């Protein structure tokens, strides 16, 4: 059995390592041609950096297709060369071969998760930097950008804390401002507010209090319902100062969704992206099980079902995600796409018999 296991896994790995770069080259070439007209400051160094750091993002979509094609090519070779009959005559079942396919799918899924969680967040940020250099423009504004639970130093004596701040709407909650003594780090002035709106030269604060400490013996305390606080905050500088990053990984979307819910911020976008990413990151194993189940059916139309099913999979996930973002359906419904495909695949795998070849 171990010899057969090694043989199948080796063949699948070879096919996978050939298919993946081939697809990657084609996709990157298409991306470059598509974006070429937008490049105003074209140079080889920036273009090479843009292409290199674009690779992990594309692997997220290539891995599931590459693993399915690897299994399909190996299956075709097994049938055409008649090797399948030698395997079956030695008492090895189709189910056992299917399980080896599934093991390979799990391995590729592990690579997929590692790529999305640990590599893509960094490379997407770098790729965006090179893209903006090639375009010769500042980054385009992005919706749903906020910071949370962060202290910001305004100057040597002034500090602000934001429990939550929407950098596009310029609105937030749980605001704190502290002014210290010059060179001494002794608090002189503290302002707290439940809500904050940032205007040109003032902060509009709602529901808060002011604490003034002139000396150890003298402490003034007052509350307010609304207050115009004369502090100027530049949102663009603030974005650069705190280095706001777009969520990319599953973990980042989950963290943003939790924070948005906590502060009453619209979270449907983040939850839809979280469940969408959580669904597609398992695409290699899900599509492996689905393909393996259909592969052994004795009917010509099985190829239509396989590739049609893959097509439906990749279009159903973003469609449901868009509906979830709009609040039409719960975001977790996206996960049911995986459950349906796994159920169909495993049902067919478990009922396979040699006579159906």
List the one residue out of 143, 142, 160, 163 whose CA is nearest residue 151.
160
Q: Are 235 and 170 in contact (CB under 8 A)?
A: yes
Phi and psi angles of residue 227, each rounded to the nearest 5 degrees, phi first: -150, 135
Q: Are 342 and 289 in contact (CB under 8 A)?
A: yes
Cβ-count burial 111-140 (b if 16+ within 10 Å, e if not): ebeebbbebbbebbeebbebbbbbeeeeee
Read off the pLDDT of each residue in 144-170 and give the average, rounded to a whole number: 86
Beta bridge partners of 162: 150, 175
Read off the pLDDT of residues 298-343 as tens digits, 9 standing for 90 and up: 887 888 999 999 999 999 999 999 999 998 999 999 999 999 999 9
Domain boundaries, the chain: 2-138+265-356, 146-242
Read off the pLDDT of residues 73-97 as tens digits, 9 standing for 90 and up: 999 999 898 888 888 888 888 899 9
pTM of the model: 0.83
């Amino acid at each position: 059995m171990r010899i057969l296991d090694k043989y199948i896994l080796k063949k699948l790995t070879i096919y996978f390592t050939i298919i993946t770069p081939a697809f990657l080259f084609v996709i990157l070439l298409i991306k470059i041609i598509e974006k070429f007209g937008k490049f105003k400051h074209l140079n080889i160094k920036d273009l090479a950096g843009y292409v290199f750091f674009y690779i992990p993002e594309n692997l997220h979509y290539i891995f599931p297709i590459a693993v399915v094609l690897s299994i399909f090519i190996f299956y075709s070779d097994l049938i055409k060369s008649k090797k399948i009959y030698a395997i079956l005559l030695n008492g090895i079942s189709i189910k056992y071969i299917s399980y080896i396919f599934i093991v390979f799918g799990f391995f590729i899924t592990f690579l997929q998760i590692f790529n999305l969680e640990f590599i893509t967040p960094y490379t997407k940020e770098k790729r965006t930097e090179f893209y903006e250099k090639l375009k010769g423009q500042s980054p385009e504004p992005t919706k749903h950008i906020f910071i949370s639970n962060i202290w910001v130093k305004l100057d040597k004596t002034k500090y602000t804390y934001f429990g939550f701040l929407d950098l596009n709407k310029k609105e937030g909650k749980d605001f704190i401002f502290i002014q210290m003594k010059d060179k001494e780090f002794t608090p002189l002035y503290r302002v707290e507010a439940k809500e904050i709106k940032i205007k040109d030269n003032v902060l509009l604060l709602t529901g808060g209090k002011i604490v003034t400490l002139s000396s150890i013996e003298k402490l003034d305390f007052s509350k307010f319902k609304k207050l115009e606080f004369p502090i100027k905050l530049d949102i663009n500088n603030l974005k650069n100062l705190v280095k706001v990053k777009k969520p990319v990984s599953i973990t980042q979307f989950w963290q943003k969704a939790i924070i948005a819910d906590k502060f009453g911020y619209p979270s449907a976008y983040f939850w839809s992206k979280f469940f969408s990413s959580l669904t597609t990151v398992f695409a290699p194993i899900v599509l492996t099980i689905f393909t393996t189940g259909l592969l052994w059916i004795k009917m010509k139309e099985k190829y239509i079902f396989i590739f049609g099913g893959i097509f439906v999979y990749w279009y159903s996930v973003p469609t449901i995600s868009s509906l979830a973002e709009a609040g039409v359906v719960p975001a977790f419904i996206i996960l049911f796409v995986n459950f349906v495909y796994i159920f169909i695949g495993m049902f067919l795998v478990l009922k396979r018999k040699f006579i159906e070849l």
